[in-house]
Amino acid sequence: MNTRALRITLVIETAPAQMGGEAHTLAQLSEGLRRRGHRVEIVRTRHCDEAMRAGPELLLCRSWRLPGYPALQWGAVSMHTLTRRWRRQRPDVLYIATEGPLGLSALRAARRLGIAVVSGYHANVPRVCDQLRLGALVRVLTHYLRWFHRRSAATLVPSVSLSLALQRRGFEHVSVLDRGVDAQLFNPSRRSQALRERWGLGAKDIAVLHVGRLLPEKNLALLAPCWHALQHQSAQRRLRLVIVGDGSYRATLQRQLPDALFCGAQTGEALAEHYASGDLFLFPSLHETFGNVVLEAMASGLAVVAYDQAAAAQHVSPGHSGALAMPGDHRAFIEAACWLLEDSETLRRVRLNARQHASRQSWPAVVEQFESYLLAACHQSARAPLAAGAALAIKPGSPTPRG
């Protein structure tokens, strides 16, 4: 049990409707913290169909999308609005998950009020800049992010590789906060033969899945050559490519893959059923800082093919619970996928091992670790005024007080 109930504010520039990795993770953390007895306030952007509103546990802010990059949403709220709100009901600690205008306003208000701050680093800045053709801004943005995160007690990242990369760039107080998976929701028991029949598959046929937002930066152009290679290798077996998700790249994929089945965005039990009804999971992304879908697919009993980075590097044991390729080696990625379909016994064994590993990655353990970072930040913040007071009481050059 925690030693102290906290009043915690979580700040993120993503609405639940986007439900990318950051929003999904924050939803799990907030619910877990509430179960552990903490008071949790959410400050986030609103979705287009949500009304502006504020209450003791939720503050919705205006938002806009970055031109040319619709997946990125920024929030707008003044520092003075947050300062007034937090003077009336002061949080013990803030967790700022994003570094945009909303995150910056929250950071400035927290520093003005002396509130402890923990931050999260999720964005792959060089990749985003490449996508926007703003490579010249990488140095400027890296400098800003380093400045931002130095003003928090700890910067939490989802993988060891990202932690090392940030430390090489001069980031300080970087710690890893892993990700969990709901192994009861994402479970092989949700496999649906009725759904597979709608996909045109029998019990022994193979469903090849991809789940995620369909965006150009996700390296989805690799799906077409990989799918064609799988079809060529498995000409005697019935295969079906099933793509779950939506986004600006969907129309391009539909032209490249006219025989694929596009199911749109799915959530909750419907998403879990889609996962469990598949067999092989293709995850070609090259710039994820984690990739929650990897753990969800493994928990659902799928054999994952991915690049050796982020979540896949941490959770996939090559040849045992999945197949990995060196980042950027497209041919090796395709060969890894084909290897998994060479032999039905290999595929069965890998799927069982994937489920066994993922079922041990629980959210409660992650929430407890997150709680420990927040408590440590509070203790550090409480000690700081005492140290500052002692420094003021005995100024350099003043006479030493006598007993």
pLDDT tens-digit series, residues 39-51: 999 999 876 656 5
Task: Give the separation between CA 375 and CA 92, rounded to whole angstroms.
Answer: 9
Task: Give the separation between CA 90 and CA 290, rounded to whole angstroms.
Answer: 32
Structure token digits, residue 21: 């990795």
Return the pLDDT at 136: 67
Q: What is the Cα 287 distance to its own chain's centre?
A: 12
| Rg of the chain, C-alpha, whole Å | 23
- 168 in any annotated domain: yes
Phi-psi region of 295 (alpha: psi -120 to 50; beta: other; left: phi over 0): alpha
Together in a domain, 352 and 388: no
- 400 in any annotated domain: no
- 308 in any annotated domain: yes
pLDDT tens across 235-256, in order?
Answer: 788 999 999 999 999 999 999 9
Task: Give the separation between CA 71 and CA 342, rounded to whole angstroms.
Answer: 37
- 2 in any annotated domain: no
How open is the CA angle 215-219-220, to the nearest 5 degrees? 70
Comparing 303 with 100, the larger pLDDT belongs to 303
Together in a domain, 141 and 231: no
Together in a domain, 16 and 141: yes
Q: What is the Cα 123 distance to its own chain's centre?
A: 9
- Residue located via tokens 């077409």: 224
Together in a domain, 316 and 330: yes
- 274 in any annotated domain: yes
Task: Give the separation between CA 314 and CA 385, rounded to whole angstroms.
Answer: 39
Together in a domain, 59 and 175: yes
- 250 in any annotated domain: yes
Looking at mean pLDDT, say which of 47-51, 124-128, 174-178, 286-290 comes out highest.
Answer: 174-178
CB 60 within 8 A of CB 84: no
Q: What is the CATH number of the domain that holds 373?
A: 3.40.50.2000
Together in a domain, 384 and 257: no
- Residue located via tokens 């044991």: 317
Mean pLDDT, to the nearest integer, of 317-341?
Answer: 97
- 399 in any annotated domain: no
Together in a domain, 154 and 106: yes
Return the pLDDT at 397: 40
- Residue 235: which domain range? 188-358
Return the pLDDT at 52: 56
pLDDT higher than threshold 80 for residue 325: yes
Together in a domain, 132 and 250: no
Together in a domain, 292 and 376: no
Together in a domain, 86 and 161: yes
pLDDT tens across 94-150, in order?
Answer: 999 989 899 999 999 999 999 999 999 976 665 555 555 566 677 888 899 999 999
- 402 in any annotated domain: no
Task: Give the separation between CA 62 and CA 52, rounded to whole angstroms.
Answer: 8
Together in a domain, 100 and 245: no
Together in a domain, 200 and 346: yes
Q: Is the pTM of this model over 0.75?
A: yes
- How many distinct structural domains can be found in the chain? 2
Q: Say how many Å lie between the first and final Cα of the chain, rounded.
A: 43
pLDDT higher than threshold 70 for residue 32: yes
- Residue located via tokens 């980042």: 327
pLDDT higher than threshold 90 for residue 87: yes
